[in-house]
Structure formats: C-alpha cells, structure tokens
Structure 1
Amino acid sequence: MAAKRPPQSSRRPPRWPAHLEYLEEPRYHSSVPKHIRELVSPAPTSHTPAQTHQQKAPVAIHPISDPSHPARGQYGLFATKKIPPRTLLVDYIGEVHCDDRPGSDYDLSLYRTPDHVSVGVDAHFCGNEARFINDYRGVKPKPNALFQERRTERGELRMSVWSGGEPIKKGEELLVSYGKSWWRARQSSNETDT
C-alpha cells in the first residue's frame, strides 16, 4: 500500500513550472528506515515549540535569458530585496531518501550515518524555490550563497541556503558552489553517454 502524500501546496510561487510538485515541507521516501528518520526528524517533545509559519523567503524564480549564462533558457533564483551577509534564505526542500539516485541533478547530500548510510534530499520532481539555485561557475568569480545544514525549531535536520560573507543586492542571482564532485560525476556521465 502506497504511503499517503501530503497535499500539494496552493502557495506555489510565481513562475513555478506546472510539471513540478511544490512542497513546503520535506517528504520522506519509504527508503528512509525508522531509526534514521528519528535522527533526521525527531518526534517533537512537549518542550518543542510549536511550528511557526515560515516567513516568505526573500527569493524569486526567474528565467535566465543572458546568452553568456551557462543556464540560459532555464531558471535561476534571485534576491527580491537586499540581503545581509550570513542570512538564512530558504531550506532546500524535496524528497528525503536513502536510495541511490544517480539520474537526478537535484539530489543533495543531507546526512551520512556512522554506519555509512547516505541520506539525501532530491528535488527532481518535487521541491521548493531552492531547487532553482545555480552554480556560480561561468557566471561570477565566486558564489554569493552556500549550502549549510541546520536544525529547525522542531529539531528536523535541513540543508539550507544562506547568504555568504557579503551583502547580496536586490535582483542579484543567488549562486552556490555545487562542488567539484558534482561536476566530476556529470563529466563522467557525459563521457559514458557518448
């Protein structure tokens, strides 16, 4: 019997592609064992504060039209206001899983257990605005944002996007480093495809 999926949010941001499911909270795949789920998303205690409605992220999805941009014809994530350094921008939301997803370009590592079980967050088919953040390579000399894990008020582990050490101007594209291993995996995948 398939697990019930939470209802899709009616609060889709502008320019959200119709073929993708918008999520406000992570979805847990059946590949996540109970003991790992309890590590990543512990059950609330009576002392855990009630969840407060998350403030709207200061980001917007926009199409990329600059001919020199490596992601031309796709989307990017842009600041809707001036953002101070070291500010939490948005959590990377998707399907939390423990299975292998080599075909997804939207799969981020969340946690590795001491017994080497990898927990990822995949936003290939469902997610939030954070799935549209691009790599800085070919756009800017360095990233202006970064991925960093954090625990929510309820204790749930999340991978989040934070502004870097410099302010980000309103209208500026948010750019992170996907990491050399991400690019190596894409390069080796392209070599085997040809």
Structure 2
Amino acid sequence: MGKDRIPQNWPSSMPYLSQPSFAPHITRTQKDALRIRSPDLTAIIPSNLPRGPCSLVKIIPIAEPSHPAHGQAGLFAARHLEPGTLILPYYGLVHSSLPPHSIAHDKSDYDLWLNREVGVAVDAEKAGNEARFINDYRGVGERPNAEFRQCWDARSGQQCMGVYVLPAGKKNTPAKVGAGAGGIAKGGEILVSYGKGFWSKRREEQDAANRA
C-alpha cells in the first residue's frame, strides 16, 4: 500500500487495514455467522463508503500533560460531525474469542466483541485503522461523544464494528473536548466509553502485577 493510502501520523511499523483481517483459526461456522444480518442490526456501513484513510478524522499526538494518553495519540474530528452519524469502521484482526485462541488477546487494549454468540472479536492492537486511536473519555471530558456499534457492512456483506457520533438524545461532552451544540465540533477529540468491564480487568491485572 502506498504512502498516500496511509493516514498522517500512522505508525510506520504497523500494518494499516482498509478492511478486516481474519485469523487463520476462524472456523467456517464463525465466518458464516458473520454473514448473517439479524433484524436488529440496523446500523449500516453504506456500500459507497470509500476504503482507506477516512477524511472525517485526524490522528494527532497528545501533547497535553494532563491527558491520560499524553505521549501517545488520539483521534480528532477533521470537520463537524453530526449527531448519530457513522464516523468510520473499526478494523483489526477478526479472531476467535474462545480458548485457546483468546489467550493471545487477553491483555489487548484494542479488542472488541464482534459477535458474542459465536465467540468472535476484533483486535486492533497490532494492525488496524484510525479507529484504534480513539481514547476513553475518562480524564478528558465529562462523558463520551461517540460510541461503538455492531453494524452491517454493505460492501462486504458481513457484520462489522463501527464508530458513531452519539445521537442527539445523548448529551455530548463540553467544549473542553470540542463538542458543539450537537455532534462533535471540528478539532474535537473523539471519545468513547471503554466500559466498566475494561477498567475492572485492567485493575485486576495491575493488582496481580503489584503482588508479583
């Protein structure tokens, strides 16, 4: 892939994905399950969405010392993003979340459930797209301004994870992180909630490390 197809500030040592990558151990049953669109899967990645770098976002290094991700990077809106709209898909390695294959992803901060019923998740730790740089809102804003949603990718005909601006009914973060009257303002950091389970697991790991 040429440099013009890699976002600015993308790590040179990490593969950039314009579509999901599948682990060799994924079974036919799991693949077939991902190709089924259930009636409640209403969020859609449209068939005309271009692959490759997303023009709606920018990867920007975090220079503010008080930011929890100081010294790393975050994902910011390149223009105003309307409430409830798709920002971009979340790409990574689609893998089995069942033992023994789940062991390799247990400590990843980039692993999301894709289909719990058949035990499939997507991990962007070692390869992915811009969505892997989205930070948790804690320590940055009062609440998130975006969310992960399981959705249907009309381009490939399979289930996918996407990042959406919070709908208008869910209050956005204050001006501190660039939220306007609705949606996410240009220049605002895109923030989600990693969830209580994520932080509980990280605390357990830290406690175990301290006891070692």
Same fold at TM > 0.5: yes
Asked if 2 retains the 8 angstrom alpha-carbon contact of 1:9 and 1:22, the reply is no
User: Secondary structure of the equivalent of 2:63?
Assistant: coil
The TM-score, its normalising length taken from structure 1, stands at: 0.86
Q: Which residue type is aligned with residue 126 of structure 2? A: F
**Residue 64 (structure 1) aligns with:** 62
- Aligned-pair identity in percent equals 41
**Residue 13 (structure 1) aligns with:** 7
In 2, Cα distance between the equivalents of 1:184 and 1:152? 31
Asked if 2 retains the 8 angstrom alpha-carbon contact of 1:94 and 1:123, the reply is yes
Among 156, 159, 162, the residue aligned to 1:160: 162
User: Secondary structure of the equivalent of 2:71?
Assistant: coil
1:114-169 CA deviation, whole Å, 9 max, x = no partner?
A: xxx42110111100000000000010000000000110114211110000133110
Among 154, 173, 192, the residue aligned to 1:176: 192
Alignment of 1:29-178 (within 5 A): 29-41=23-35, 52=48, 54=50, 56-98=54-96, 99-100=101-102, 101-113=105-117, 117-153=118-154, 154-165=156-167, 166-178=182-194
User: Secondary structure of the equivalent of 1:127?
Assistant: coil
Alpha-carbon spacing, 1:72–1:9, altered in 2? closer, same or farther (3 Å): same
1:9-46 CA deviation, whole Å, 9 max, x = no partner?
A: 6511000011211000001102211111111146xxxx
**RMSD value over aligned CA atoms?**
1.7
In 2, Cα distance between the equivalents of 1:41 and 1:97? 15
Asked if 2 retains the 8 angstrom alpha-carbon contact of 1:77 and 1:132, the reply is yes
Asked if 2 retains the 8 angstrom alpha-carbon contact of 1:147 and 1:159, the reply is yes
User: Secondary structure of the equivalent of 1:182?
Assistant: helix
Q: Which runs of 5+ in 1 are unaligned?
A: 1-7, 43-50
Which of the pair is proportionally richer in helix?
A: 2
In 1, Cα distance between the equivalents of 2:140 and 2:109? 19
CA shift for structure 1 position 57: 4.2
In 2, Cα distance between the equivalents of 1:31 and 1:107? 17
Q: Which runs of 5+ in 2 are unaligned?
A: 37-46, 168-181
1:104-123 CA deviation, whole Å, 9 max, x = no partner?
A: 1111111112xxx4211011
User: Secondary structure of the equivalent of 1:120?
Assistant: strand
In 2, Cα distance between the equivalents of 1:151 and 1:139? 31
In 1, Cα distance between the equivalents of 2:113 and 2:16? 20
Alpha-carbon spacing, 1:90–1:57, altered in 2? closer, same or farther (3 Å): farther
Among 19, 22, 26, the residue aligned to 2:16: 22
- Runs of 4+ in structure 1 deviating by more than 2 angstroms, as ranges, are none
Q: Which residue type is aligned with residue 66 of structure 2? A: S
User: Secondary structure of the equivalent of 1:188?
Assistant: helix
